[in-house]
Chains A and B, each alone.
Chain A
């Protein structure tokens, strides 16, 4: 299990997809969507991490000191995920707003009942 991080993200993605596809309640679909998004964020964060690596700040002021890249974790994927977290928060915000409007209009969040109400 040397690459358990990949297994974790794959399992989480499948859980998320299942939630989005199979659940009837829109709120549960939203939770599935969130799990799906956070799984990808975990994936990105794990690819930047290194065993025994430290934060990417060079502590020494001596310009001739040797700096080995292997000692520092890769900050770029982590920075990318800051953006992705903001994206995820925004998605959740819009989704909750939509759910409130849907609940006010249909008095339910069950997908089949909403479809039935729309068919009328």
Chain B
């Protein structure tokens, strides 16, 4: 099959079909979700095709939109790093879309299903685009497409959701504008917006003060979008109050795509030597991330709302990844990239479970989870899989990426990072034990949610198979990713490490 045009199709197809979904939603609402699922299936096919062609070519696959050569035209460049991220986005968004059917039916009024699924698909379009593009301004546009659909779709949630969405929008706009300002400075210096071209042109300018200002603006912009610790404040509110299907889609993907953009700028647009030696950005990021891990882990312990607890967990996980990057060596970077991919699946797993529990119980309060294991045994088993993976228990994938992160900190001789990584993992263990204790061990149900006597126990689980299926697949993927992590590292991630860092 001709995979030549796949890099363009993976963005254009969901973009165009999102409008089709809106039009169809005006006539037949029940057709919206099937179209979304079929589109995402096609995207999964494109992502697999792209990864295959990258692997067979062994290098960057370039696609020139409208056959305009860079630096004049927009270029889509796919190497090992973004091919892997694209595939993860495709898999997770497909599974979340299937899972969203019954959850959304409960949370969103039927009249709004058309716009809801339109925004969901636009969201995925933006994420695919951010990951695949090789042009810094195109990245800004696609970032805004992803952000707008996020603001609008979060605003569809319960109670204070529109207010949380508005606050997210204020923060997000500052982030996006800082990024735009940063690339403006790079453009003043070089006259180019193409990433590969910028890398060549910027090398003689590394001493320039204008470049430093631009670089700093770009870092601030990306840090806000990926919810790095001091600028994470928009995340817990908006992702907690968003509709369940939305938080299951946004929480794993958006922040991690932000991490991908960070890696792109630190190691592709700028030379690794610039990011690690000439400008102490990695030290700053590492220091902030270590405080963030401890802060977010403690904040997570203080929450009684399951989704809010998971939101703080995301902030901590972003911290782990950034610590891996800040080690500035090969092992640490392998750990960071592997953890980015693993975390997409772990968070998708945990947030889909949170969505199902919320939809079934009508409450996200952990205190009310008593006796949940009797009615939702499979759902809880999936939750346990996600929890074990986050804590870092083999053979779940979280163990392997954390192993590399720890090795990276030892190689770098950063004992503070090491201590924080281990302390954070312990705090996560306590965190999940608290939830599981409520759900498994407290048999007496005093919360008023008692099951009526004489009612039959559900055969498998209380929730429909369309919800159960994707969650079980995600849990199995966590083990699968763990068992094959060596292959993933050897075949893909090793090639994504910048040349100069491979020796260490």
Contacts and interface: CB of A to CB of B under 8 A. Distances in A.
Nearest to A19: B170
Interface stretch (B46-54, B173-181, B197-205, B364-372): B173-181
A77 B152 CA distance: 29
Interface stretch (B55-63, B158-166, B242-250, B306-314): B158-166
Given A47-B188, A87-B141, A97-B155, A36 B162 contact: no
Interface of A: 17, 20, 26, 29, 33, 36-37, 40, 43-44, 47, 77, 80, 83-84, 87, 90-91, 94-95, 97-99, 101-102, 105-106, 114, 118
Given A40-B180, A47-B184, A118-B159, A98 B173 contact: no
Interface string B135-163: 00100010010001001100100011011
Given A40-B184, A47-B188, A97-B152, A20 B174 contact: yes
A98 B188 contact: no
Nearest to A88: B173
Q: Do most interface residues of chain A lie in helix, strand or loop, or is the interface mixed?
A: helix
Given A40-B184, A91-B148, A33 B162 contact: no
19 contacts: A29-B170, A33-B170, A36-B174, A37-B173, A40-B177, A40-B181, A47-B187, A47-B188, A77-B184, A83-B141, A84-B180, A91-B169, A95-B151, A97-B155, A98-B151, A98-B169, A105-B162, A106-B163, A118-B159
A43 B184 contact: yes
Nearest to A104: B162
Contacts of B181: 40, 43
Contacts of A114: 160, 163
Q: Do most interface residues of chain B lie in helix, strand or loop, or is the interface mixed?
A: helix
Interface of B: 137, 141, 144, 148, 151-152, 155, 159-160, 162-163, 165-166, 169-170, 173-174, 177, 180-181, 184, 187-188
Contacts of B187: 47, 77
Contacts of A118: 159-160, 163
B173 A36 contact: yes
Nearest to A102: B162
B237 to A, nearest CB: 10
A99 B170 CA distance: 12
Contact of B166 (A37, A80, A83, A102): A102
Contact of B184 (A44, A87, A91): A44
Contacts of B162: 98, 101-102, 105
Contacts of B152: 94, 97
A95 B184 contact: no
A13 B144 CA distance: 19
B185 to A, nearest CB: 9
Nearest to B155: A98
A111 B188 CA distance: 39
B163 A95 contact: no
Contacts of B163: 102, 106, 114, 118
B152 to A, nearest CB: 5
A90 B148 contact: yes
Nearest to A91: B173
Contacts of B180: 40, 84
